[in-house]
């Protein structure tokens, strides 16, 4: 039985007080005292100019033993802030959670339960993309897949989640990653760490760099609720290029060059990202009013179906 803090929930943020409030509420609303005693919530504020600090102060007032807040004196850029927030983590596992995503309504208790049962090295938590992020997720029976090396993991992805809308989170969304702190920080101290600090997906290189003899968990349940069509997709071509670089690194480090399942996964994921970026540009960057324009309305609802 777990009777001590074990999980560090790491939240990087910048000028998103309103949605950060939803993110923090998704953590603390499901946490009774027993659960909260086993976690710490760490926020790294990248020098926000809105009311983020006041918001966090209110949560600290209510949960002073659980939440820790650090504010950068200057903006250090988003990716560096993602890495920096993990440096404050003290406990056995790091749980990345970006400020525009939320935990599903049962995720905390279930993650702690799986930790107790399996002592895993790495978990890729399931995600569902919604417009209204305050939607309760129906919980399935507590079950999960366990893999112990990269080849088994690639075969699982190919056989079970080959569709793009299920595949892409494994290689691009920070919020699904739960990883042993020691595994994460060992890589961060390596000579290769600095090479990836300007890439939008450095966590990919960290968690995938060595999956030999690592216990990998993929739960059946949805642990994360993500927002569709937000400004996080704004760099378009750069995002696709960075993801490709990460997947090439994963391929090289794990000797996957001749693995046909991996090559197909890689191709589907990169092609799917291009489609996502294109739709985002149409619907958001061009500021189209999809509710009054029949053509864009059709694209919008196709996109929603595509992701969900």
Task: Please state, in angstroms and rounded to a whole number, the distance separating the CA atoms of residues 39 and 294.
Answer: 47
**What is the Cβ-side half-sphere exposure of residue 180, based on CA atoms within 13 angstroms?**
16
- Token reading at 25: 């509420």
Total-model pTM: 0.88
Q: 227 pLDDT band (50/70/90 cuts)?
A: confident
Q: Identify whether the C-beta of residue 283 lies closer than 8 Å to the C-beta of residue 253.
A: no
Is the predicted pLDDT of residue 8 greater than 80, yes or no?
yes
Beta strand 101-103 with 222-227: parallel, antiparallel or unpaired?
antiparallel
Is the predicted pLDDT of residue 41 greater than 60, yes or no?
yes
Mean per-residue pLDDT of the chain? 86
User: pLDDT per residue over 132-180, tens digit each?
Assistant: 677 788 888 878 999 999 999 999 999 988 766 678 889 988 999 999 9
7-229: CATH number: 3.90.550.10
Q: Which pLDDT value is given to residue 34?
A: 87
Q: Which pLDDT value is given to residue 229?
A: 56
List the domain boundaries for the chain.
Answer: 7-229
Task: Give the pLDDT mean for 61-71.
Answer: 94
Q: 189 pLDDT band (50/70/90 cuts)?
A: confident
Q: Which pLDDT value is given to residue 14?
A: 94
CA dist 144 → 125, 216, 222 (Å): 10, 10, 11
Q: Identify whether the C-beta of residue 222 lies closer than 8 Å to the C-beta of residue 110.
A: no
CA dist 191 → 29, 76, 110, 195, 252 (Å): 40, 21, 36, 8, 17
């Amino acid at each position: 039985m777990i009777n001590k803090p074990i999980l560090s929930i790491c939240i990087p943020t910048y000028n998103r007080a309103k949605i950060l409030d939803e993110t923090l509420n998704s953590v603390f609303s499901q946490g009774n005292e027993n659960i909260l005693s086993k976690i710490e919530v760490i926020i790294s504020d990248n020098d926000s100019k809105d009311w983020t600090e006041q918001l966090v102060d209110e949560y600290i007032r209510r949960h002073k033993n659980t939440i820790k807040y650090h504010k950068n004196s200057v903006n250090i850029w988003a990716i560096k802030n993602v890495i920096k927030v993990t440096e404050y983590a003290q406990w056995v596992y790091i749980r990345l959670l970006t400020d525009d995503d939320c935990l599903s309504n049962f995720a905390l208790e279930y993650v702690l339960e799986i930790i107790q049962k399996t002592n895993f090295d790495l978990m890729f938590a399931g995600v569902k993309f919604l417009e209204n992020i305050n939607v309760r997720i129906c919980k399935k029976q507590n079950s999960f897949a366990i893999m112990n090396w990269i080849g088994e993991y690639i075969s699982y992805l190919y056989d079970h989640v080959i569709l793009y809308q299920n595949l892409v989170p494994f290689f691009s969304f920070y919020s699904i990653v739960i990883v042993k702190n020691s595994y994460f920080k060992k890589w961060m101290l390596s000579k290769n760490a600095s090479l990836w600090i300007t890439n939008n997906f450095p966590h990919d290189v960290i968690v995938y760099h060595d999956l030999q003899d690592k216990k990998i968990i993929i739960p059946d349940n949805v642990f994360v609720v993500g927002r569709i069509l937000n400004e996080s997709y704004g760099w378009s071509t750069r995002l696709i290029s960075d993801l490709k670089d990460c997947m090439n690194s994963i391929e090289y480090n794990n000797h996957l060059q001749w693995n046909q399942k991996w090559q197909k996964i890689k191709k589907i994921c990169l092609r799917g990202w291009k489609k996502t970026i294109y739709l985002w540009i149409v619907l958001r960057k061009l500021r189209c009013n999809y509710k009054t324009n029949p053509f864009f309305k059709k694209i919008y609802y196709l996109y929603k179906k595509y992701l969900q």
